[in-house]
Structure 1
Amino acid sequence: MMEIPVINPESEHYSSLLQPAGCISRLEDVANWFAKRQGKELPDQLKPAIVLFAADHGVAASLSHQDSRSGTAGRVAHATSSDSVIRKLAKEAGASLSIVNLGVRDEITGVDSETVRESGSGDIRVEPAMSQEEYWEAVGIGEELAARAISDGANLLATSSLASGDHVSVAALLCELAGVAPEEALESGSHESYPDELMALEASLERARGTPSHDILRELGGLELAAMAGFFRAAARKGVPVLLDGKASAVAALAATAWDVRIAGWLLASFVSDESAHRIVLEELGLEAMMHLKRSLSGGKGAALLMPLLQASLTLQRGLATIED
């Protein structure tokens, strides 16, 4: 099995800079963070790639609070349009963008098709989200797409979900992997579907009671969450950092660390929202977010927003004078 590489020690370059330590706040730390993972005194310019995974959730089909614009197919349709927010942000960041269909019930176009199950994951209230075969197929797709992006020259990856019905699955994983209470995992209850989602969450947790941590993603997750977990593992094994986007990608990362805790060392959290559950999962991963945004973003937008700032920090560090200069 491929090993996760050891992160290199800090270069002496950063202790020899003429600038006062911390004068550009965390941007200084970020450049050092990338240098250690690239194994270089000064980090290379970033060549980012964003991969978004789309899939429906069986448990969401019973919660009839979605319309065609807010469902998974609607999110994919927006993301694939030429004037979508994520396309504009990716272009500004110089990032490639791929959108992958793992199991969306409605017909969608303009995406890469890697369908595992056409109807999406199972209804986790009454059955596992995926069979063993489906689970490892989804994980393998994530691993393959990370490896492909790296082979194409990317040295920074980002991944996120376009699933609109993932609330219950993400909350269930939070409860099992981070010990979050169901009410907190679903957040506040400010939307009309909250009571139904809470009932679905509690039923799902009861059904999966006693599941070992290494199998909880298959039982309570979703196709896109499994693919993201595989994506994180493959990137870590190849020594390429990955930006987390919103809460769903962070939860998938936490599930991946059940395979190997060292995966967390190759992750960078782009932002944290005001949701306490989002903060908790980042704390479980040992990560401090680069940005604090009041609202949660998804679909890669948070990661794409951060990329130009990361590029600027690396460019700045390469141009700063040292004592030797």
Structure 2
Amino acid sequence: MSDFNLQAVFARIQPISEEKLKTIQSRIDRQAKPQGSLGRLEELSRRYVAITGREDIRAKRIYTFAGDHGVAAEGVSAFPAEVTPQMVYNFIEGGAAVNALARHAGAEVRVVDMGVNHDFAGLSGLIDRKIAMGTGNIAIGPAMTREQALAALQAGVELAAQAKDDGVDLLGTGDMGIANTTPSSAIVAAFTGLTPFQVTHRGTGIDDAALGKKIKVINRALEINQPDPEDPIDVLAKVGGFEIAGIAGLVLGCAAEGLPVVVDGFISTAGALIASELHPHVRDYIFAAHQSVEIGHRHMLQRIGQQPLLDLNLRLGEGTGGALAMTLIEASLQVLREVRTFDDAGVSAGDDQ
């Protein structure tokens, strides 16, 4: 940890050039179509090219971060904690939903153990960044120490740098961790001041009684831990998760490396929110994949200042929505490259062009 300097990461994060955005939009506006007629596809290509300086994607990668949560002991999930390591094995074997959708998108999935309560014994293909065997139970104390939070952020930052070195042009986030909608709801409540009732939903599909319990658990976690919204690392340490911290680090690292990052759903956006609270220009590099069914998600996205690309009633996580959104970004770049201008196509522009 001694060699990790978060301020040095912040110093490398620059806002996206407004001049570059305008130049790219000017080219789009000259294409043989009514101005603005491809809607948000124009936004995607404009932002991607402004960030990367490229008009294509050489390689796409999704990092799926996994971690266990002590708060699972409170009965806030429909699934037992044993499912977290079981799903990690499934990801590695290529048999999960994110694997299928990533194959469709032409993206590689890499699985990162941030804090699963299981010994994977050198499992081939698994990236080992384990901080501890799961977080503490936020209903009775902090999730982790500040030092652990920083170590988890460092892991994500380093993975972004590795992806850059590997020639990856577009990254995506994913998560796995039974009970992780509970810390995610606590995080958005801490930053927005909204009540847990306003930002907490059913996660894996819990019933009304369990939802009521979950809301009470989050209230208790906020009361006991008193996370400071002016100090995002304090929020992360007190009510977060190791996989959420890894995602936050990855998003920070992407901004520092000049890489666009497609942020998946509720849990991934909790990580992106931490990153955005740490540095204001981080949001320039974020593409919000989809609108989660989780009711707290829209409040996160509003605070980050991003509109989701898709609304498909997804609530799985893993990086599934991120894989789908990557295909939209790739489609937008194909339009940018291949649609001719009015002059090149010999098409008369309308008066409003």
Q: TM-score, normalised to structure 2's length? A: 0.85
Report whether the alignment pairs 1:90 with 2:90. Answer: no
Q: How much does 1:66 deviate?
A: 5.1
Q: How far apart in 2 are the matches of 1:242 and 1:185? A: 24
Q: Out of 25, 28, 33, which is 1:14 matched to?
A: 28
Query: Aligned pairs, how many?
Result: 322
Q: Out of 117, 135, 138, which is 1:124 matched to?
A: 138
Shift in alpha-carbon separation, 1:210–1:96, aligned structure 2, 3 A: closer
Q: Which residue number in structure 1 is paired with residue 56 of structure 2?
A: 44
Q: Is the 8 A contact 1:54 1:99 kept in 2?
A: yes
Q: Is the 8 A contact 2:186 2:196 kept in 1?
A: yes
Q: Report the secondary structure of 2:13's partner residue.
A: coil
Q: How much does 1:53 deviate?
A: 0.7
Shift in alpha-carbon separation, 1:67–1:292, aligned structure 2, 3 A: closer
Shift in alpha-carbon separation, 1:69–1:166, aligned structure 2, 3 A: closer
Q: How far apart in 1 are the matches of 2:146 and 2:227? A: 17
Q: Which residue number in structure 2 is paired with residue 100 of structure 1?
A: 112
Q: Which residue number in structure 2 is paired with residue 219 of structure 1?
A: 238
RMSD over equivalenced CA pairs, Å: 2.0
Report whether the alignment pairs 1:193 with 2:202. Answer: no
Q: Is the 8 A contact 1:5 1:238 kept in 2?
A: no
Q: Report the secondary structure of 1:291's partner residue.
A: coil
Q: How does 1:242-253 map to 2 (within 5 A)?
A: 242-253=261-272
Q: Out of 190, 197, 208, which is 2:225 matched to?
A: 208
Q: How much does 1:199 deviate?
A: 2.1
Runs of 4+ in 1 over 6 A off after TM superposition: none
Q: Which residue number in structure 2 is paired with residue 316 of structure 1?
A: 335
Worse-superposed segment, 121-130 or 105-114: 105-114
Shift in alpha-carbon separation, 1:268–1:46, aligned structure 2, 3 A: farther
Q: Which residue number in structure 1 is paired with residue 66 of structure 2?
A: 54
Q: How does 1:223-302 map to 2 (within 5 A)?
A: 223-302=242-321
Shift in alpha-carbon separation, 1:19–1:67, aligned structure 2, 3 A: closer
The AA in structure 1 aligned to 2:185 is: A
The AA in structure 2 aligned to 1:266 is: Y
Q: Identity of aligned pairs, percent? A: 29
Shift in alpha-carbon separation, 1:268–1:67, aligned structure 2, 3 A: closer
Q: Which residue number in structure 2 is paired with residue 173 of structure 1?
A: 187
The AA in structure 1 aligned to 2:182 is: V
Q: Which residue number in structure 1 is paired with residue 350 of structure 2?
A: none
Q: Report the secondary structure of 1:18's partner residue.
A: coil
Q: How far apart in 1 are the matches of 2:228 and 2:266? A: 22
Q: How far apart in 2 are the matches of 1:250 and 1:303? A: 11
Q: How much does 1:62 deviate?
A: 3.3
Q: How much does 1:107 deviate?
A: 3.9
Structure 1, unaligned runs of 5 or more: none
Shift in alpha-carbon separation, 1:56–1:274, aligned structure 2, 3 A: closer
What's the CA shift string for 1:154-187, capped at 9, x where partnerless?
1111112101121221111010112222112212
Shift in alpha-carbon separation, 1:95–1:71, aligned structure 2, 3 A: same
Q: Out of 171, 180, 184, which is 2:198 matched to?
A: 184
Structure 2, unaligned runs of 5 or more: 1-7, 345-353
Q: How much does 1:222 deviate?
A: 0.9
Q: Which residue number in structure 2 is paired with residue 75 of structure 1?
A: 87
